[in-house]
Amino acid sequence: MSVDLVQIVKDIIKSNKYLTLGTADDKPWVAPLYYAVDNDNNFYFISQLDSLHTKHVLKNPTVAFAIFDSHQPEGTGIGVQGSGSVVMLKDNEIKEAFTWYKTTFIEMKPEFFTGDAPYRFFRLVPDHFWVVDPEVKTDKRVEVQF
């Protein structure tokens, strides 16, 4: 294959800020989330404890996700789809997340993500990535491993 699919996936992840997280329990749910990614391609996000996707991942950590630029013209869009698992970070892991996750939405202090605070930090650990194969004429996704 002459196209570097790994670089395509990395470029999409780097050039976007939101991923759509798919979760499931008794009913499926999707949620757009602001994210940051570390050097091992783990994604970090914050969410409130009472959000439906948080409730889902605390019961069932297996998720699907998509990252794409929704402003691409029809028929030209390319994005990343993936699967993995989500874990809520423990108190001693939160400071490491600060290395990757930057925001002005909420003050980045550990106490804002513990105890009675409404927000928590999460890590999405991907196990698979897929992208549209740019070398075929049909809409065919191929797995990309890196």
Of the ranges 5-9, 83-87, 95-99, 138-142, which one carries the lowest mean pLDDT score?
138-142
Q: How far apart are CA 10 and CA 72, in angstroms?
A: 18
In order of their start, the domains of the chain are 5-144 (2.30.110.10)
Tokens of 144: 């990309």
> For 134-139, what is the mean pLDDT?
84
For the stretch 44-88, pLDDT in tens is: 999 999 999 999 999 999 999 999 988 888 877 789 999 999 999
Beta bridge partners of 34: 18
Phi and psi torsions of 68, nearest 5°: -160, 160
pTM for this entry: 0.93
| pLDDT on residue 69 | 85
pLDDT, residue 78, reads: 86
